Amino acid sequence: MKKVKIYVTLRESVLDPQGTAVKGSLHTMGYNEVADVRIGKYLELQIDPSERDIDGIVKEMCEKLLANTVIEDYRYEIEEAN
């Protein structure tokens, strides 16, 4: 069993109004060091071993469903599940 951690974020070129609102709030609280905030999604998949290449299927799932590559970037890490 593998654990796959997937991070989906808005592409650099896409404005993130949620992140901007959170940054504003952090500034109000006095954390003026915060230069930028980007909000994304975190997904955790448990994957059973199969004859299919895990890297290949994770990539495929990201491209087809988990991320919309018109507006989002994704990256993932594959670990041994405990």
Partner 1 sequence: MKFAVLVFPGSNCDLDMYHAIKDELGEEAEYVWHDATDLSGYDGILLPGGFSYGDYLRCGAIARFSNVMTEVVKAAEAGKPVLGVCNGFQILTEVGLLPGALLRNKNLKFICRTVDLKVVNNHTLFTNQYDDNEMIQIPIAHGEGNYYCDEETLQKLKDNNQIVFTYEGENPNGSVENIAGIINEKGNVLGMMPHPERAVNELIGGIDGLALFKSIVKQWRESYVQA
List the x/- string, 21-60, binding to partner 1 by CB under 8 A. x-------------------x-------------------
From the CB of 15, what's the least distance to partner 1, in Å? 7
CB 74 within 8 Å of CB 43: no
Distance, in Å, from the CA atom of 17 to the CA atom of 5, rounded to the nearest integer, reads 25
71 binds partner 1 (CB under 8 A): yes
13 binds partner 1 (CB under 8 A): yes
14 binds partner 1 (CB under 8 A): yes
Q: Contact residues for partner 1 (CB under 8 A)? A: 13-15, 17-18, 21, 41, 65-66, 68, 70-71
